[in-house]
Amino acid sequence: MKISQLQPNEYSQFYANYVALVSDEYTLLEELEISVHRLVKFVREIPMDKFDYRYAEGKWTIKDILQHLIDAERVFAYRALCFARNDKTELPGFEEDDYVIEANANKRSIQDLLTELLIVRQSSLALFKSFNDEQLMRIGTASNNPMSVRALGFIIIGHQNHHQRVFEERYLL
């Protein structure tokens, strides 16, 4: 399945910008696999002195953002698991700023963060491969909004693409 098959009622308008950043060139599973390698290659080319850089007071570092991507992907994958298993529990949102403060990403090496990112993505990829078509179409509620399992997969990709764009536009000038 490709992003062009996703319907607007499968995700909150909040995520529309992320969905728009996913290419229709590949399927969900292909893009989950390809996009993480594209990001890792990109990050490995960033100069070492940029990983702890903040472009403005109170903004996250590149390390913070990588940890944020890891944490957010775990949350999105958990939501996908719940909805695919037909769990009707309404899931809460998460406060990303609180997660970043508690994560202490800036005390970690960039290699450690990239390794964890790859492990989390492999786990997400295995999870999404396990879903059948009916499960991918299931819709649950997260942050008071309807969300399909397949939309969550595309949001993982679009969220990553969004932050890579932020790196390019605000951190690597």
CA dist., res. 170 & res. 167, Å (int): 6
Decide: pTM greater than 0.95.
yes
Confidence of residue 118 (pLDDT cuts 50, 70, 90): very high
Position 10 pLDDT exceeds 90: yes
Q: Which domains are delineated in the chain?
A: 27-171 (1.20.120.450)
pLDDT value, residue 173: 83
User: Quick one: average pLDDT of 121-148?
Assistant: 98
pLDDT value, residue 101: 95
